[in-house]
Structure 1
Amino acid sequence: MSTPTATSTPDASAPVLSYSPVVLPVPGRPVDLQLRVSAPATGADLPVILLSHGHGPSNNLSSLNGYAPLASFWAAHGFVVVQPTHLTSRTLSHLVAGAPGAPDFWRSRAEDMSRVLDRLDVVERTVPQLAGRIDAAKVAVVGHSLGGFTAALLLGAGLNDPVTGDTVHLAEPRIKAGVLLAAPGRGGAVFNGPMAEQWPIIGAVDFSTMTAPALVVAGDKDDSRHFTDMGPEWHADPYTLAPGPKTLLTLFGAEHGLGGIAGYDAAETTDENPERVAALARLTAAYLRTRFHPGAPAWRTACEALTTGPDAVGRVASK
């Protein structure tokens, strides 16, 4: 349990503007790329968070309509949050079935983020009251679950394509830092669960080239036995197997939903805990704030409040 101070919610004095859909036509993509953009109502030189959704059982949480508990907090605290609907979204299943890259669309998911950055000026002009307020030099990527897999590729992880055998790199140099939330871990012998054969791409990632700074968040109760018998430590692999600078936040009692980050009151959340979600929102915002403003005390202050003492929500390690 965290203290009352630690479980702060978005400041009511910092209203958020959320606009959707922003539609970016993409030649060759089965459907146009649709985005939700959330931003504080005031402020300039705003850093950008590209938020990659996971692949859960709900229809709309894995789309631009999900992850409000995080997106709203980050926007209220000075970030522009861009949420694409990837082709893996259940909202698009009837439109993209059988399209090249199905069902995992791993390359398309990463390319979606590069396309957003290619046309960030269009996004900025399209969203009312946002023009001239973005700092395009400060871009981070955050991904949950399959979104963490996407974020890893954008941060430099390599991939051995199980279809072609080719080594693929989709690193996006315009992304300066990232946060991986309950991301998949290693392949090899430990990638032995009943879903491993259906999703071989998950076990094809090489974290040794993921050189960009990142915060890896793992729940100590997130036991993904459908992919591995390694236990919750599997989700720490993007920290363990990647070079620094990396930070690992292990959340106590957290399962794959990390308390319910995919949506407010989501029935699929197995570990519903609003306090944990609020703490995670604060810690991730603080991590990125300090990454974009070296020397800023935000990360240190948040860690002191949330990861020390008897009410700590988790523990932190760095390398």
Structure 2
Amino acid sequence: MNPALGTRPVVPVLSVAPVTIPAPGRVVDLELRVSAPVTGSSQPVVLLSHNHGPSNLSSWRGYGPLVEVLAACGFVVVQPTHLDSKVLGLREANVAEAPLYWRSRATDLSYVIDNLDTIEAAVPTLDKRIDRKRIAAVGHSAGGHTVSLLLGRRLNDPEDGSVVDLSDTRVRAGVILSGLGRGGDALSEYARENYPFLQTSDFSTMTTPALVVAGDQEAERTNVVGASWPEDPYTLSPAPKALLTVFGGEHSLGGIVGYGAAETTDEDRDRVAAVGAIVGAYLLTTLGVDDRAWEMAKGELESSPEPQGRVVDK
């Protein structure tokens, strides 16, 4: 049995895209994919925030390997396309938030929660099946930074120095995959020039429970620290938190964006399966769906003759 599922049976999944949510004041309306089990009631929600990658998979079109696992676990997975997605062609726009649209990314996720009624109505068989009290956010790379803002991480606006708080208490748990760490002297010159919002970062206010996932072979040009940088959301934030260190994992953690994608430098299906199992189990237990799932998944990981990673909790 997949350790992410605990005692829950695997069910078929329905995926619908694009679902378009009117968004007055946004440059374009919000497009997203919704993937959900075809049966069941009171389904918890996962908001999945994509990376700032070089392919069209950095949108609702990506993350199939991870979405398959989470939807099979019983989650309704909602994948918005952020304004920095390559498919929208807005990265070079002459606006203050370009190219990453860091603030808009976070407000996208909150806007999805605001519009769950519309999403339910747009997806066949989903009406009145979403549990609005069990919402989690999962993000990869830049998406991990987005999720950390909803969980309580704060920063100073590079334009005026004001403290930015985009936390959303409706999000009860989070997962940060190959996320962005602290600023200051940890940043590379490239990051300081292109992503000034990363200069300041306060993880002390990130109090929402979260799982941080980091590959031990991480090597991103945004920092000068190395593989420990994406562990900062765990190290520098208060409990309760968990950290999964993925053995041999690089930035794409084996291919969570998509097997063979431009973002995937360490393609490994077993690695992706292990990451998906741990993420699913963590969310099932943290959201109160299956109290046994997290301990079962950790036990499966630790007892494997060739473990894919190591988990620590605080």
Tell me, yes or no, whether TM beats 0.5: yes
Alpha-carbon shift at residue 99 of structure 1 (Å): 4.1
Measure the CA separation in 1 of the matches of 2:49 and 2:95.
Answer: 20
* 1:221 match: 217
Alpha-carbon shift at residue 200 of structure 1 (Å): 1.7
TM-score scaled to structure 1, two decimals?
0.93
Q: Which moved more, 1:131-140 or 1:186-195?
A: 186-195
Alpha-carbon shift at residue 294 of structure 1 (Å): 7.1
Alignment match of 1:275 (pick from 270, 275, 278): 270
2:31 touches 2:60 (CA, 8 Å); kept in 1? yes
Instruction: Indicate yes or no: 2:310 matched with 1:315.
Output: yes
1:250-287 CA deviation, whole Å, 9 max, x = no partner? 00000000000001332431110000001111110000
Q: Which moved more, 1:196-205 or 1:147-156?
A: 196-205
Alpha-carbon shift at residue 206 of structure 1 (Å): 1.2
Alignment match of 1:72 (pick from 61, 68, 75): 68
Alignment match of 1:247 (pick from 242, 245, 262): 242
* 1:289 match: 284
After superposition, the Cα gap between the structure-2 partners of 1:100 and 1:194, relative to the gap in structure 1 and judged at 3 Å, is closer
Measure the CA separation in 1 of the matches of 2:229 and 2:104.
Answer: 25
SS across alignment from 1:317? strand
Measure the CA separation in 2 of the matches of 1:22 and 1:127.
Answer: 8
Residue identity matched to 1:20: A
2:64 touches 2:256 (CA, 8 Å); kept in 1? yes
Alignment match of 1:87 (pick from 75, 83, 89): 83
Write out aligned runs for 1:254-273 (5 A).
Answer: 254-273=249-268
Q: Which runs of 5+ in 1 are unaligned?
A: none
* 2:14 match: 17
Alpha-carbon shift at residue 97 of structure 1 (Å): 2.1
Instruction: Indicate yes or no: 2:106 matched with 1:110.
Output: yes
Alpha-carbon shift at residue 307 of structure 1 (Å): 3.0
SS across alignment from 2:204? helix
1:207-227 CA deviation, whole Å, 9 max, x = no partner? 111000000000000022x12
2:91 touches 2:98 (CA, 8 Å); kept in 1? no
Residue identity matched to 1:158: R
SS across alignment from 1:64? coil
Identity of aligned residues (%): 53
Q: Which runs of 5+ in 2 are unaligned?
A: none
Measure the CA separation in 1 of the matches of 2:290 and 2:191.
Answer: 43
Alpha-carbon shift at residue 194 of structure 1 (Å): 2.9
Instruction: Indicate yes or no: 2:150 matched with 1:154.
Output: yes
* 2:26 match: 29
1:62-87 CA deviation, whole Å, 9 max, x = no partner? 10000010111111120000000000
SS across alignment from 2:89? helix
SS across alignment from 2:110? helix
1:87 touches 1:96 (CA, 8 Å); kept in 2? no
After superposition, the Cα gap between the structure-2 partners of 1:158 and 1:5, relative to the gap in structure 1 and judged at 3 Å, is closer
SS across alignment from 2:88? helix
Measure the CA separation in 2 of the matches of 1:242 and 1:134.
Answer: 30
1:29-68 CA deviation, whole Å, 9 max, x = no partner? 110001100000111110000000001111x211000001
| CA-based RMSD | 2.0
Size of the aligned set, in residue pairs, is 312
Measure the CA separation in 2 of the matches of 1:302 and 1:255.
Answer: 22
SS across alignment from 1:71? helix
After superposition, the Cα gap between the structure-2 partners of 1:197 and 1:308, relative to the gap in structure 1 and judged at 3 Å, is farther
* 1:46 match: 43
